Chains A and B, each alone.
Chain A
């Protein structure tokens, strides 16, 4: 590696007051032609470029980003990582990602601050209890660690939860995946960008895609704010704006883009050392290393690209948070924001070829794409390089909406993905 990060490089650079660190990635001008172009410089897009270069020996690659890398949903999510999905296809996909997370900092030589602090999902009614028990069994059959906890065990694992039977939605139990946790979202984008750049990938920021040039059955390149760029392979990883790009190619996707909100509190001393999610009351919470409570709310039910959500959604989430954690009643919230998430009718992603040769889509991650970043990039790179899906993403093809072979994860994922 050109400039390996280590205790020695830290010491060496200390002598020059840390003013001479090499740039982690370059800022090149676009070439005329690439072997592959990835549209979207978020975690998934950068990971795709990284694995294309690393595992498929494609070096002439560009990542095209409208704003700056990691500035979209990669920088806006609540950083939860888990793989306890119900169906076999999803379990394969998300656990593939989780396994890569476990050694990602070492592989990238970049600390992504992956912290396996566990994720607990709460049950608030009898149907929740049945669903979560079923999911626990399904997870274990797929080799994914999962345990079911009763109310006392929930309280023991996270003592600040109000487990009184007299609250509106009492805690009847929960599941725990101990290998799950959180990571530093910006570091994931930066680490993949640095790794991809090192292998010769061009990262083109402030380069907006204006159109996709195609002939009858294949793609020829993209029209951008920095001119026309030729390529026979184009991978689109544009999250909430996937439909916008699809419309440029004359393609329709089964997506709706909606605002999803999150908020953080003022920083406080360590109080919650895990991630607790509750689908039934739309609330999930963890604590960042800076000490802020990181709280995820739900989506609005209307299509919008405005990157702001409705106040009543936040209010509903905070009501639930306060009932579950009375200790937070005097916390002040510092920031609130929205990201645009592209939701599939079956709440599962699309990592697929399309009817147009050379055009690939990785989209529909909805409210829960961050956790899959490394796996998604790996499998999408495989799909682009071989023009065939990997067996782990074969079920997530776009044709499932024609065949009816959906991967319905609403039950396992719902809002709190």
Chain B
């Protein structure tokens, strides 16, 4: 259990949010030309990092907007929060 600083609403408890998994997985531009291996990579394979991970969250019980979070998954400490479409912080 931790607190997330929603870029639109401010600090709220994690239970108000829903996790959307790994961020910056780019949707294939030419889906018809993808091989099965590439589809598997896009749909199923995940980094599942122990450490600093970039991920998406939605403020389900609040503004209902999506945004990105940089979080250390080994201790749940949040390093940064940034809006959709913004460049991820480099450090």
Could you list 19 further interchain pairs (A-B, Cβ under 8 angstroms) beyond the known A305-B74, A306-B73, A309-B1? A243-B48, A243-B49, A254-B44, A254-B46, A255-B46, A255-B48, A256-B46, A301-B18, A303-B19, A303-B48, A304-B73, A304-B76, A305-B50, A305-B73, A306-B76, A345-B43, A401-B40, A401-B45, A403-B36
Complex interface bits, B34-45 against A, C-beta within 8 A gives 1, otherwise 0: 001101110111
Contacts of B18 in A (CB 8 A): 301
Q: Does A247 contact B (CB under 8 A)?
A: yes
Beta-carbon contact of B44 and A401 below 8 Å: yes
Bound Cα distance from A304 to B22, whole angstroms: 12
Q: How large is the interface on B (under 10, 10 to 19, 20 to 34, 35 or more residues)?
A: 20 to 34
A99 in the interface, Cβ–Cβ < 8 Å? no
Q: Give which listed residue, A244, A252, A257, A312, contacts B45 with CB less than 8 A.
A: A252
Residue of A nearest to B37 (CB): A402
Residues of B within 8 Å of A304, CB to CB, are 73, 76
A302 within 8 A of B: yes
A241 at the interface (CB under 8 A from B): yes
Which chain A residues numbered 326 to 377 have a C-beta less than 8 Å away from chain B?
342, 345
B30-81, CB < 8 A from A? 36-37, 39-41, 43-50, 53, 55, 57, 73-76
State whether B36 touches A310 (Cβ < 8 A).
no
Q: Are A301 and B50 in contact (CB under 8 A)?
A: no
Do most interface residues of chain B lie in helix, strand or loop, or is the interface mixed?
mixed
Contact status A302-B48, CB under 8 Å: no
Select A253's contact among B19, B45, B55, beta carbons within 8 Å. B45
Which of A241, A252, A309 is the one whose CB lies under 8 Å from B47? A252
Number of A residues near B (Cβ < 8 Å) is 27
Residue of A nearest to B36 (CB): A402
The 5 tightest CB contacts between A and B, nearest first, are A302-B19, A243-B48, A254-B44, A252-B45, A310-B1
- Interface code A57-69, partner B: CB below 8 Å = 1, 0 otherwise? 0000000000000
Q: Tell whether A301 pairs with B74 under 8 Å between CB atoms, given A255-B46, A256-B46, A402-B36.
A: no
Asked, given contacts A303-B73, A345-B44, A401-B44, whether A311 binds B1 with beta carbons under 8 Å apart, the answer is yes
As a 0/1 sequence over residues 283 to 314 of chain A, the CB contacts with chain B under 8 angstroms (1 = contact) are 00000000000000000111111100111100
- Which residues of chain A come closer than 8 Å to B50, judged between CB atoms? 241, 243-244, 257, 305
Most buried by B among A255, A303, A312: A303
What is the CB-to-nearest-CB distance from A271 to chain B, in angstroms, rounded to a whole number?
Answer: 31
- Of B1, B40, B46, B74, the residue contacting A402 (CB under 8 A) is B40
With A304-B73, A306-B75 in contact, is A312–B46 under 8 Å at CB?
no
| Cβ-closest chain A residue relative to B19 | A302
